[in-house]
Amino acid sequence: MRVLPPAFEPTCYATAPDEPPTLSDCTFYHTMELPGLGTQYGQWDLRPGIADYLGATEFAGCRVLEIGTADGFVCFELERRGASVVAFDLADDLTYDALPLSGEFLQTDAYRNGLRRIRNAYWLGHRLFRSSARVAYGHVNRLPAFLGQFDIGLIANVLQHLQDPIGAIAQVARVCNRIVVTETDWLHGQYDDVKGLIYFDKDNPYVWFQVKPILIEAVLRRLGFGNFCISHHTQRFVEDAEHRGDGSPIGRRTDVDIPHFTVTAERIVPIGLPGTTATQEVG
Ligand SMILES: C[S@@+](CC[C@H](N)C(=O)[O-])C[C@H]1O[C@@H](n2cnc3c(N)ncnc32)[C@H](O)[C@@H]1O
């Protein structure tokens, strides 16, 4: 099992590369329109369902922590909606939490190169959208203190990849007044009557669990959140990335709508000064 080394916890925001990466050195996880470069195609096309994906939340004027930003599609959309965003993703020296017995897959050069190319896509978009988002890298289960507090924490399609999804919910909840949790519901309709389901899900080396909305709600309730809204929607899955033994992806067209759910909630007693939003930034 993974034990996080103490050394990886960052103490400051990342700086953008002096020159943006070239398009040929990028991989897009999401289909997105890049200013001046047109449509880039990714595994997921969240564009038609993005309002549902964000839990119909109002982001204008809010300081937002976005966990698992990947190529930044959601980050840039949040900015377009008027948010001030801190985008967070895995530190360079980390990989996805590897499942026990998953072998060396997550350590291969091809796999690490894939992560690097998605990060490049983020920085290319950051430049082209003239983004003001700040970026930090680390592990969601140990959010760095310098990030401060947020009006809204958003964690979308990250829980399934974590050895400790409950710990991650607690980490995000600790620093925000409102929370949006979105996950692919691979087990849609199955086991919905089982309270608090956390289910070992798929047979790829970086998907641990299917966490059901009722469990997320129960955890957040314990952490002082209320006013829950659970919604169900579908999102377009364009391409299934299977992986060769060396970790390099093989794209397989799918074009199917996959069930998702979104849980939104707000802290019953807000953090921060009474009567203000949680816009304190530390460091
Ligand atoms: C499936 S993608 C989801 C991307 C985007 N959030 C979305 O909703 O489409 C998972 C993202 O979470 C990031 N991630 C995986 N493990 C993480 C961790 N322990 N801490 C922070 N980010 C992580 C990955 O690098 C990737 O960018």
Q: Does 89 sit in the ligand 1 pocket, CB within 6 Å?
A: yes
The CATH code of the domain that includes 61 is 3.40.50.150
Q: What is the CA radius of gyration of the chain?
A: 18
Judge whether 224 lies within some domain. Answer: yes
Q: How far is residue 238 from each of residues 24, 124, 261, measured CA to CA in Å? A: 21, 22, 18
Judge whether 230 lies within some domain. Answer: yes
Q: Around Cβ 105, how many Cβ atoms within 10 Å?
A: 20
Q: Which domain holds residue 222?
A: 32-267
Q: Does 143 sit in the ligand 1 pocket, CB within 6 Å?
A: no
**271 phi and psi angles, rounded to 5 deg:** -80, 165
Provide the pLDDT for residue 246. Answer: 56
Q: Tens of pLDDT along the chain (283 residues)?
A: 455 655 566 789 999 999 999 999 999 999 999 999 999 999 999 999 999 999 999 999 999 999 999 999 999 999 999 999 999 999 988 888 877 666 666 777 777 888 999 999 999 999 999 999 999 999 999 999 999 999 999 999 999 999 999 999 999 999 999 999 999 998 888 887 888 888 876 667 778 888 999 999 999 999 999 999 999 999 999 877 665 555 556 667 778 999 999 999 999 999 874 444 555 444 4
CA of 190 to the centre of ligand 1 (A): 25
Q: Does 121 sit in the ligand 1 pocket, CB within 6 Å?
A: no
Judge whether 8 lies within some domain. Answer: no
CA of 66 to the centre of ligand 1 (A): 10
Judge whether 20 lies within some domain. Answer: no
Provide the pLDDT for residue 282. Answer: 46
CA of 70 to the centre of ligand 1 (A): 6
Q: Token pair for residue 209?
A: 């669990």
Judge whether 170 lies within some domain. Answer: yes
- Mutation test residue for ligand 1: of 43, 75, 77, 161, the one with most atoms within 8 Å of CB: 161
Total of domains in the chain: 1
Judge whether 117 lies within some domain. Answer: yes
Judge whether 23 lies within some domain. Answer: no
| pTM of the entire predicted model | 0.91
Q: Does 74 sit in the ligand 1 pocket, CB within 6 Å?
A: yes
- What's the rounded Cα separation, in Å, for the pair 90 and 10? 11
Provide the pLDDT for residue 34. Answer: 97
The number of angstroms, rounded, from the C-alpha of 252 to the middle of its chain's C-alpha atoms is 23
Judge whether 18 lies within some domain. Answer: no
Closest by alpha carbon to 283, among 91, 93, 86, 141? 86
